[in-house]
């Protein structure tokens, strides 16, 4: 962050990437999908808009409204987690002709991302009085939405990615690079803060887990849940 309350610039860049990645499947015609996909897309977008708004409020010294909006976000998070969980379920038990390994990888990633989002949000609330820790925890949640968006964008625009399966790895590499850059930026400023390193470990762990997800153990768990794998 270049200055206090200046993170909104990065959130705007993240929102632009999310819109680009999901343009074909949502933003281009948001009402053409079924109820759950539309609701999930709207709520996810509202979350990013909330991050932008909260950053602007801090930058303008509107701390009272920042706190009020922060507590009000609990309702938004409940809906976001609910719609995200249903999206994972649809992904898990949907089209039987969907490639097996891709289904398992996407399901594993989305479950990992959902757990990471809840953990980062809960920790952000817990450390709300530690401004720099709080802001990094809450701000990092945009990276979770950025993963699926970048994967789709890379799959659509970069032939060398060889479709969504290959683009998933590229997307995770991008997020990990962003976190490494954020850690180095903090260190350069003399800030030894833990949220970005913890988030980096979490993303690397999830990334590594995608290999395990295509194996027999996770496949058996998925079949037990109703997946056609």
Predicted confidence (pLDDT) per residue in 127-154, tens digit: 999 999 999 999 999 999 999 999 999 9
H helices then E strands: how many in the chain?
A: 8, 0
Say which residue the tokens 């089209």 belong to: 95
Rounded CA separation 193/209 (Å) = 26
Rounded CA separation 140/122 (Å) = 12
Alpha-helical segments (H) within 22-129: 35-59, 63-93, 100-126
Q: How large is the average pLDDT for residues 199-227?
A: 95
Name the burial class of residue 25, with classes exposed (0-12), middle (13-18) and buried (19+) by CB atoms within 10 angstroms of its CB.
Answer: middle
pLDDT at 4 over 70: no
The pLDDT-based confidence of 1 (bands split at 50, 70, 90) is very low
Name the burial class of residue 155, with classes exposed (0-12), middle (13-18) and buried (19+) by CB atoms within 10 angstroms of its CB.
Answer: buried
Q: Lowest mean pLDDT: which of 50-54, 82-86, 189-193?
A: 189-193
| The pair of three-digit structure tokens given for residue 21, joined into one six-digit string | 């990645």
- % of the chain with per-residue pLDDT over 90: 87
pLDDT at 3 over 80: no
Query: How many angstroms from the chain centroid is the CA of residue 56?
Result: 21
Backbone angles phi, psi at 215, to 5 degrees: -85, 180
Provide the whole-model pTM. Answer: 0.93
* Residue 47 Cα distances to 55, 189, 202, 206, angstroms: 13, 29, 21, 22
The pLDDT-based confidence of 2 (bands split at 50, 70, 90) is very low
Provide the CB-side half-sphere exposure for 91 (13 A, CA): 18
Rounded CA separation 59/54 (Å) = 9
Q: Where are the beta strands (DSSP E) in the chain?
A: none
- % of the chain with per-residue pLDDT over 70: 98
């Amino acid at each position: 962050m270049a200055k206090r309350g200046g993170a909104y610039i990065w959130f705007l860049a993240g929102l632009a990437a999310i819109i680009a990645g999901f343009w074909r499947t949502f933003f281009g015609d948001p009402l053409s999908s079924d109820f759950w996909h539309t609701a999930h897309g709207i709520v996810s977008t509202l979350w990013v808009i909330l991050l932008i708004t909260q950053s602007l409020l801090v930058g303008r010294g509107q701390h009272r409204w920042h706190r009020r909006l922060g507590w009000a976000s609990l309702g938004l998070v409940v809906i976001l987690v609910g719609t995200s969980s249903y999206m994972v379920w649809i992904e898990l038990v949907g089209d039987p002709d969907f490639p097996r390994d891709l289904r398992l990888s996407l399901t594993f990633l989305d479950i990992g991302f959902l757990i990471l989002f809840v953990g980062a949000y809960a920790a952000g609330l817990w450390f709300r009085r530690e401004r720099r820790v709080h802001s990094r925890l809450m701000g990092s949640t945009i990276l979770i939405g950025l993963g699926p968006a970048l994967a789709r964008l890379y799959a659509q625009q970069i032939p060398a990615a060889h479709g969504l399966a290959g683009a998933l790895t590229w997307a995770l590499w991008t997020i990990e690079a962003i976190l490494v850059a954020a850690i180095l930026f903090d260190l350069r400023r003399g800030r030894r803060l833990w949220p970005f390193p913890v988030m980096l470990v979490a993303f690397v762990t999830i990334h590594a887990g995608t290999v395990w997800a295509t194996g027999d153990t996770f496949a058996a768990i998925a079949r037990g849940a109703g997946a056609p794998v």
